[in-house]
Amino acid sequence: MDKNELKLIYKNTHRQMGVFQIRNKANGKVLVGSSLNLAGRRNRFNFEVAQGCASTNRDMKEDWARFGAENFAFEVLEEIKPGDDPSRDYKFEVAELEKNWIEKLQPFGERGYNKEKD
């Protein structure tokens, strides 16, 4: 196969997508997020753990420094299964699923690292 064929195959390959949480095992706080590529997001988390750095979330960075990277876990909360409909809007579905999980878990203040939207 040539380079263009490989790119097309990669582009058309469905990736695991859905909602995740990064959970602080020491205090139970969570950061809820979503991704169209959960494996890529998990790799980013693993890199952050290896490098000893946290995301751009200031509160989580402080806890990361306080409790250590080993006290944080990446967990998939829910996946969206790809379908055959080429017009399906996965970006919208993932965003809605994330809203539902945030509403359910209320990961704000003492419960989490998400920021409430006005």
CATH architecture of 15-108: 3-Layer(aba) Sandwich (3.40)
Domain-wise residue ranges, the chain: 15-108
In the predicted model, what is the mean pLDDT of residues 107-118? 91
pLDDT digits (tens, 9 = 90+) for 31-76: 999 999 999 999 988 888 777 776 668 888 889 889 988 999 999 9
Residue labelled with tokens 């998990």:
42
The answer to whether residue 86 scores a pLDDT higher than 70 is yes
- Residue 19 is predicted with a pLDDT of 98
Chain length of the chain:
118
The answer to whether residue 102 scores a pLDDT higher than 80 is yes
51 Cβ neighbours under 8 A, 6+ residues apart: none
Closest by alpha carbon to 20, among 2, 4, 44, 1?
Answer: 44
CB hemisphere CA count around 15 (13 angstroms): 15
- Residue 9 is predicted with a pLDDT of 64
pLDDT digits (tens, 9 = 90+) for 5-27: 776 665 666 678 999 999 999 99
On whether the pTM is more than 0.75, the answer is yes
- Residue 50 is predicted with a pLDDT of 76
